[in-house]
């Protein structure tokens, strides 16, 4: 019975995660399409991704704290509604400024939903399966990206980006389904809730300060590199001389490698533990980013792009499994949300940095070298500051 409940929870929360990834994935292709339609500069293209990340930072912080106040399920529904409706409204935008403002609110919904969903699932699963289930939850992200790449390849060239974006608005209906299918964890409904300031202070108090520092460094470097690289992936391929349509197809091929990345991480996380999976997959990400940036042939681009997808998304899954295990239930939403919010600052800087560097005619290999260095910092944070949490009982 418990395993059936876990499967149901994974499926219900997973599709919410998939819809998030669908929106983020589509944005990378929409940015490339808007460059021609609105004659955007590379700096403006970078700002679209960064404004979304600003919204995600605000959403992760606000909704993470709110989840400790009103519960995980209701916040999950609210965030799903926010980004779904915002995505639908974005199709009405006729200028860069209006589109960017709407993307802020879409980002707030996205940023709030992700850490809350992983916290909700982590609290409902037995310790010996928790890591694997949370990583499998993250694997729905790959499904969303694959859907986004398919839609971008077949829909955007023929019908335009607005039709592609409009489909994400329909996910608002799914929020109503979640409302009736997921129940609030008992550990949340029964505990006395501290004040907002008490929660924020507790995250940096002596028992959790080391874990918080580790998570903030990890989240910042992973989000900085991910959004800097992946939101620009189709555009970087255009810079390397490939057509927009071909770049969409190549990114689709690279994206398929995300799924085995998640599945292998899910299998290994209960065998090796959280720390070693994070270290190994982040190391693979760093090496793949370096060689992708220096690739000169289509074959090497596809190989190292696929490896980048494989290792980076596997590391994301392990990070989401690792983060909620650092705190007790009463501050778990706040701690995870604050780490995710700080990470989104990296998501703001990453896409902007690429836009400015491309404008300054900095080469792609130098840009990806910067992301490689950032990932190494994340590896060191986990290795030096992180503690193994495999099998830890969540209270």
CA angle 65, 71, 74 (to 5 degrees): 105
pLDDT digits (tens, 9 = 90+) for 342-358: 998 998 898 889 888 98
What is d(CA 121, CA 148) in angstroms, rounded to the nearest whole number?
25
The pair of structure tokens assigned to 360 is 């300054």
Mean pLDDT over 156-162 rounds to 87
What is d(CA 4, CA 175) in angstroms, rounded to the nearest whole number?
21
The tokens 């190494």 sit on which residue?
Answer: 376
What is d(CA 211, CA 204) in angstroms, rounded to the nearest whole number?
9
Query: How many beta carbons lie within 10 A of that of residue 97, not counting itself?
Result: 10
Closest to 152 (Cα-Cα) out of 136, 139, 165: 165
pLDDT digits (tens, 9 = 90+) for 42-100: 888 888 878 888 898 888 888 888 887 777 788 888 888 888 888 889 889 989 999 99
Query: How many beta carbons lie within 10 A of that of residue 11, not counting itself?
Result: 12
Question: What are the structural domains of the chain?
Answer: 2-385 (1.20.1250.20)
What is d(CA 45, CA 331) in angstroms, rounded to the nearest whole number?
37
The answer to whether residue 178 scores a pLDDT higher than 70 is no
pLDDT for the residue numbered 289: 95
């Amino acid at each position: 019975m418990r395993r059936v409940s876990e499967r149901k929870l994974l499926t219900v929360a997973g599709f919410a995660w998939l819809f998030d990834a669908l929106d983020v994935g589509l944005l990378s292709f929409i940015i490339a399409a808007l460059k021609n339609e609105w004659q955007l500069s590379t700096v403006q293209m970078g700002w679209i991704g960064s404004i979304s990340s600003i919204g995600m930072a605000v959403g992760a912080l606000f909704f993470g704290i709110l989840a400790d106040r009103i519960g995980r399920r209701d916040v999950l529904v609210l965030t799903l509604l926010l980004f779904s409706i915002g995505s639908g409204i974005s199709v009405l935008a006729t200028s860069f400024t209006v589109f960017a403002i709407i993307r802020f609110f879409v980002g707030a919904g996205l940023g709030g939903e992700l850490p809350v969903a992983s916290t909700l699932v982590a609290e409902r699963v037995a310790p010996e399966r928790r890591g694997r289930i949370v990583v499998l939850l993250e694997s729905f992200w790959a499904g969303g990206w694959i859907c986004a790449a398919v839609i971008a390849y077949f829909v955007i060239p023929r019908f335009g980006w607005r039709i592609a974006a409009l489909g994400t608005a329909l996910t608002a209906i799914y929020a109503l389904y979640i409302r009736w299918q997921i129940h609030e964890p008992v550990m949340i409904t029964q505990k006395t809730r501290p004040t907002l300031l008490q929660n924020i202070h507790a995250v940096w108090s002596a028992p959790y300060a080391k874990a918080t520092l580790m998570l903030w460094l990890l989240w910042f470097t992973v989000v900085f590199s991910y959004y800097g690289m992946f939101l620009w992936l189709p555009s970087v391929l255009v810079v390397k001389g490939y057509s927009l349509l071909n770049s969409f197809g190549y990114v689709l091929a690279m994206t398929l490698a995300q799924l085995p990345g998640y599945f292998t991480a899910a299998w290994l996380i209960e065998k090796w533990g959280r720390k070693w999976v994070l270290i190994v997959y982040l190391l693979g990400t760093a090496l793949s980013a370096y060689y992708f940036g220096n690739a000169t042939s289509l074959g090497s681009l596809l190989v190292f792009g696929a490896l980048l997808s494989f290792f980076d998304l596997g590391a994301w899954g392990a990070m989401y499994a690792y983060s909620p295990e650092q705190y007790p239930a009463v501050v778990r939403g706040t701690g995870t949300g604050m780490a995710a919010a700080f990470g989104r600052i990296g998501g703001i800087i990453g896409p902007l940095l690429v836009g400015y560097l491309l404008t300054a005619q900095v080469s792609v290999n130098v840009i990806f070298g910067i992301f490689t260095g950032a990932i190494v910092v994340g590896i060191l944070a986990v290795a030096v500051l992180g503690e193994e949490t495999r099998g830890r009982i969540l209270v």
